[in-house]
Structure 1
Amino acid sequence: MKARTRWDAVCSVADLVPDSGIAVWTEDGPVAVFYLPDRLPALFAISHTDPFSGSNVLARGITGDLKGEPVVASPLYKQHFSLRSGQCLEDETVQVKVYPVLLDDDQIRLEIPVAQAAVAA
C-alpha cells in the first residue's frame, strides 16, 4: 500500500532568500527549503537535521555546486549533501530525507507524509 501524502504550504516566495535556505516546520519535522534561482529546478527541500550532529542546521549551510550536483555544506562538520537526492557526498552510508517541492502561485508547497493517525480520523 502506498503511503499517503499531502501538499502543505510551508512559506511564500517572499520568504525565500536567493542561493540560501530557510527552515520551515512540517508535520514530518523540520525541513530546509533552498532557493537557487540560477538552476532548474530552482527549489529544493531536504531534512533540516544534520545526521552527524542531530542538530537542526542544514538550512544555514552554504549552497554550492560539486561537479554539477547542487549541494549544501553542513555548517557544523562541513559534509556536503545533494539537494536532489539527500546523499552525503563524503559518506555514502548517510542520506537525509528529500521532499518534493512546488511553486503554487506565491506559495511554496512540500509533499509531506500523512501520519497514519490522521488518515484514520
Structure 2
Amino acid sequence: MHRDTQPGTWTAVCAVEDIVPNTGVCALLQGEQVAVFRLNASGEQRVFAIGNYDPNSDAAVLSRGLIGNLGERIVVASPIYKHHFDLQTGECVEVPEHSVPTYPARIDGGKVWVGA
C-alpha cells in the first residue's frame, strides 16, 4: 500500500531531534494522520512513516506503539491489541487484511520529510 509520490510532494514534518530515538510521533499530512518513527540502531538513523490508524482497534494510535522486530522485520506494536505493523510495508503481521498505508520518509537538513 505504498503511496506513489510526484516530484515536489515532500513535506517537512518536524526536526529529527523532535522525535526521541526509537519512538514515533503523529503528523497531519494532507488531512491524513501519519505515524512517523525515528530509529537509531548501530549509530544509523532511519525514519519510517505509516498510517496512524489501527483498523484492529478502530483508533488512531500507531504512533504511540512500541518499536521492535520480528525476525528481520522492523515493526511497531499497536498499544491497544498489540498487533504488529511492518514499518517498511505497512503489513499487519497478525491480520494482513488490516494492513496500513506506508509513506516514503527521509532525513534531510536535520528535518524529517514525508512524501504524500
Q: When the two structures are superposed, what TM-score results if normalisation uses the length of structure 1?
A: 0.84
2:23 and 2:13 map into 1 onto residues whose CA distance is 16
Match of 2:53 in 1: 49
1:100 and 1:74 map into 2 onto residues whose CA distance is 21
Q: 1:91 to 1:72 in 2, by over 3 A?
A: same
Letter of the aligned partner of 1:77 in structure 2?
Answer: Y
Report deviation, 1:42: 1.5
2:96 and 2:28 map into 1 onto residues whose CA distance is 27
2:89 and 2:35 map into 1 onto residues whose CA distance is 14
Unaligned residue ranges in structure 2 (runs of 5+): none
Match of 2:29 in 1: 26
Q: 1:3 to 1:83 in 2, by over 3 A?
A: closer
1:3 and 1:15 map into 2 onto residues whose CA distance is 25
Moved more, 80-89 or 25-34: 25-34
Give the percent of matched residue pairs that are identical in Structure 1 and Structure 2.
39
Structure having the higher Rg: 1
2:70 and 2:96 map into 1 onto residues whose CA distance is 15
1:62 to 44, 63, 66: 66
Alpha-carbon contact 2:78-2:84 (below 8 Å) kept:
yes
Report deviation, 1:36: 1.0
Match of 2:105 in 1: 101
Per-residue CA shift, 1:21-53, capped at 9, x if unaligned?
111111141111111110667211101111112
Aligned length: 111
Alpha-carbon contact 2:38-2:45 (below 8 Å) kept:
no
Q: When the two structures are superposed, what TM-score results if normalisation uses the length of structure 2?
A: 0.87
Match of 2:13 in 1: 10
Which has more strand, going by share of residues? 2
Alpha-carbon contact 2:5-2:115 (below 8 Å) kept:
no
1:109 and 1:89 map into 2 onto residues whose CA distance is 26
Runs ≥4 residues deviating over 4 A: 2-5
The SS at the match of 2:114 is: strand
